[in-house]
Amino acid sequence: MVVSTRMALPVVLGALVVLQNIATTKSFEVYWNIPTFMCSQFGLDFSGVNRTYAVMQNTNDSFRGDAVSILYDPGKFPALLEKPSTKTLYKRNGGVPQEGNLTEHLEMFERHLDELIPDRNFSGIGVIDFESWRPIYRQNFGSLQPYKDLSVRIEKERHPFWSASHLEREATRRFEATGRDFMERTLLVAKQRRPLAAWGYYAFPYCFNMNGGANGGRENCSPEVQRENNRILWLFDESDIIFPSVYLRQKLSPTEREQLIRGRVREATRVAQRTIGSKPRRKVLTYLRYVYTDTIEYLKESDWVNALAAMKSTGSDGLILWGSSFDLNTRQKCTTFKAYLENTLGPILNSLQQRYIVENPPEQSV
């Protein structure tokens, strides 16, 4: 991936398109959740990104800090994990929530929280990233199917003479009831231990649009998925912020990428409006990776333009830029990303912020 300075002009022009298409009735926050601190070992400094591009960035470019902190698989959630040597699954804390020890998980979560966010006055955004299973039983399909299989086997052992349909219903009931306990109590502990922060779970609500599955090329979440998201409003009621994920794939067409974003953000704003005691509604901050997940190539400037417009048009309050440590683990990757930031991503972010400055000048005293 070679980034040329000749890209700068079309990028700026593309940014102007963003400014023409995005309403500026409210601010649009941009958070930096990219591990560019890794590039310091190669003599590349990203600590001034917040000043140069008007984004929210942790002090000294730390990955977890005063602006944003993400916790990957914190605590001891029940999970089925793969042994690298044999590729077989083993159970952590019972494997599925109905077999898990909630107290053990919460104690471990508190320890992880104190280690990763030691500042008890942390007032940034806190993101819990747990993706091993989903609290809606049906949604554990594909690579998550083993959670359903194990749940049914457990019920078969408990009730050997029940019918298959009865076992499935009981597996669903117990999985969802205990899954709620784990996810809800984890969020409550985070809010109790770091009360000044704004907390939520990464990637919720799920939508499964534009994925080639049963929902096919549908822009909006299916009615079934919307009903399921209504059943976990308890999760959004306890969340301070909702964090939908709109990572893009290059195999999708530009129009399909826009549809993916609009559908997922629209569903996030829908559930945000349904939360209890939320006036104004819960804030929606949308996670977007700066590379296509299927090719790991940088997003084209046109996709940035379209993505920002799609987010704003469907109610997103801001954007969280995310990157993997794999993206920045060599000198070449860091150097290439710095050029990409300066010539492609940065000008768009600056132009977006400049629009707000022009459109919303401070009131002048008489």
CA separation, residue 342 to residues 39, 41, 56, 168, 329 (Å): 15, 20, 17, 54, 19
Residue whose token pair is 């409210």: 26
Residue whose token pair is 């219903």: 169
Number of domains the chain contains: 2
What is the per-residue pLDDT for 363?
Answer: 42
CA quadruple 113, 117, 122, 125: dihedral sign = negative
Distance CA 190, CA 139 (A): 25
The answer to whether 171 and 148 have CB atoms below 8 angstroms apart is: yes
**Mean pLDDT on 85-93:** 95
Residue whose token pair is 């930031």: 341
Instruction: Indicate if the pLDDT at residue 250 is higher than 50.
Output: yes
| 258, 226: one domain | yes
Within a domain: 194 = no
**Mean pLDDT on 77-83:** 97
Within a domain: 238 = yes
| 208, 344: one domain | yes
Distance CA 200, CA 31 (A): 15
Long-range contacts: 46-54, Cβ < 8 Å, 24+?
Answer: 46/338, 46/341, 49/341, 52/346, 52/350, 53/341, 53/346, 53/349, 53/350, 53/353, 54/30, 54/349, 54/350, 54/353
| 365, 224: one domain | yes
Active site residue 168: no
Q: What's the token pair of residue 186?
A: 């984890």
Q: What is the pLDDT of residues 179-191, one digit of tens each?
A: 999 999 999 999 9
Phi, psi angles (nearest 5°) of residue 260: -60, -45
Q: Which of 131, 184, 256, 342 is catalytic?
A: 131
Instruction: Indicate if the pLDDT at residue 227 is higher than 90.
Output: yes
What is the per-residue pLDDT for 278?
Answer: 57
Give the predicted TM-score (pTM) of the model: 0.90
Distance CA 347, CA 7 (A): 11
Residue whose token pair is 């400055």: 357
| 42, 167: one domain | no
Within a domain: 318 = yes
Grade residue 217 by pLDDT with cuts at 50, 70 and 90. confident
| 316, 272: one domain | yes
| 210, 351: one domain | yes
For 272, the domain range is 1-67+202-366
| 311, 215: one domain | yes
Within a domain: 193 = no
Q: Where does residue 237 rank: exposed (0-12), middle (13-18), buried (19+ CB within 10 A)?
A: middle
Distance CA 300, CA 290 (A): 9
Q: What's the token pair of residue 271?
A: 């559930």
Within a domain: 212 = yes
| 343, 321: one domain | yes
- Omega prior to 205 cis, within 30 of 0: yes
Within a domain: 195 = no
| 250, 358: one domain | yes
**CATH of residue 226:** 3.20.20.70
Strands across the sheet with 198-201, in order? 68-72, 125-129, 198-201
Instruction: Indicate if the pLDDT at residue 1 is higher than 50.
Output: no
CA separation, residue 61 to residues 104, 124, 125, 220, 328 (Å): 33, 14, 15, 36, 14
Within a domain: 192 = no
What is the per-residue pLDDT for 6?
Answer: 37
Give the residues across from 126 on adjacent strands: 69, 199
Distance CA 127, CA 105 (A): 17
| 260, 358: one domain | yes
DSSP one-letter string for 273-326? HHSTT-SSPPEEEEEEESB-TTT-PBPPHHHHHHHHHHHHHTT--EEEEE--GG
Phi, psi angles (nearest 5°) of residue 249: -115, 140
Instruction: Indicate if the pLDDT at residue 214 is higher than 90.
Output: no
The whole-chain average pLDDT of the chain stands at 90
| 218, 264: one domain | yes
Q: What is the pLDDT of residues 143-156, one digit of tens each?
A: 999 999 999 999 99
**Mean pLDDT on 203-232:** 90
**Amino acid at the residue 245:** S
Q: What is the pLDDT of residues 254-304, one digit of tens each?
A: 999 999 999 999 999 999 999 877 567 899 999 999 999 999 999 999 999
| 103, 49: one domain | no
Residue whose token pair is 């602006």: 67
What is the per-residue pLDDT for 228?
Answer: 99
Within a domain: 176 = yes
